[in-house]
Structure 1
């Protein structure tokens, strides 16, 4: 008969599965510090030896890392998504920049459509809370905060789509964006007309999600990223024109 005795699961295995699930779902993020051993054992209602066994297993598999005197952290599981050589290529070729935006438009359009259908009420509250922070940062005219919240807003939509593969892939892509590999997002938020348009676009995305309109959410995301693509193209063109304008001025002064 194809049956075997049921064995009670070790407590450490239960701890491992729970932490794995939190990392997989994107709730525990790379670089995030875990609570102290005492707090974790109390929250999870396991003994410290069982907890230590689980944490050691997760560290051996590269999901957690220990820093002497500082505690246990979620490992940088996104760090190997692209090789340093490929990241350098991305940073030095305009084609990669616009391919990146096109890729985002496809992936985030799908994520927004899924989020409108599959997000929980709490997921939508998270997205709305981030948008309200975006409105507050806009009033304060704080471009770095606006750029940071912009990334948080888009990632919250991807999280709300409940596709784990998409979540980790896109989180990796956004890390490169935050590091300025593709373009300097803060510059965009320094331009008044662009800032106002971007806030309106995010408002439209949020509104479509809150009313659970899959087609509207996808369309709003795609429209927003087409605007970003156009704004970036114009920005790059303006920068190139400025280089030649300075040369003309220098030439004129020397006559």
Structure 2
């Protein structure tokens, strides 16, 4: 189907025509169609034919597609989810990280500290990304790794709105937390890594909420 360039909704030849095309028996083709239909790749419509199935979005995919970075309720839910997700990856990373993964996480933390000292937001953002993705990879679970990647893409959307122009002092505090989390992972201390990551996500959430409040009520942000 990929080779033929068929798109969702496209009609395929009949089983007999497919068998002739691939030079296999109709029994083999029929079984292949059954398997692809069960996997959701094909749609067999009685009396009409075989079609390339329309991709279905899971509720998880749908929720990501509907995320609104300016909706404060959704952003709060995102931070809540991140807290549970990334405390778990930090906990697992402290148990499972290889020496090479530990070095990568430490290096990302170091780079975030250097960027914070320079007040370089772009460099800090890149190092921050490498740090969190590195920890997710070190958790050695592809589902955690892919979910952290997806959630952080949403986080970037929210940060553009809520954390643009974040103060250098805030970056330095976050970088210090990176360093502490990296050391807990390197030392193989899962409980400490978990607790430090919770504090780190909470800090980011608080910074976001404070910045939003400052923009809504100028001059009052420091009182939140």
Partner of 1:226: 202
Matched, 1:82 2:61: yes
Q: Which runs of structure 1 show a deviation greater than 4 angstroms over 4 or more consecutive aligned residues?
A: none
Partners of 1:120 and 1:160 within 8 A in 2: yes
When the two chains are superposed, the root-mean-square deviation of aligned CA atoms in Å is: 2.5
Partner of 1:164: 142
Unaligned runs of 5+ in 1: 1-78, 245-255
| Alpha-carbon distance, 1:140 to partner | 2.3
Partners of 1:147 and 1:185 within 8 A in 2: no
Give the alignment of 1:113-192 within 5 angstroms: 113-178=91-156, 180=157, 182-184=158-160, 187=163, 190-192=166-168
Give the alignment of 1:244-255 within 5 angstroms: none
Partner of 1:214: 190
TM-score (norm 2): 0.65
Flag the 1:114–1:86 CA change in 2: closer, same or farther, 3 A: closer
Computing the radius of gyration from Cα coordinates, the structure with the larger value is 2
CA distance in 1 between counterparts of 2:117 and 2:70 reads 34
User: Which SS does the other structure have where 1:195 is aligned?
Assistant: helix
Matched, 1:199 2:175: yes
Count of matched residue positions in the alignment of Structure 1 and Structure 2: 163
Partners of 1:97 and 1:183 within 8 A in 2: no
Partners of 2:67 and 2:154 within 8 A in 1: no
| Alpha-carbon distance, 1:132 to partner | 1.8
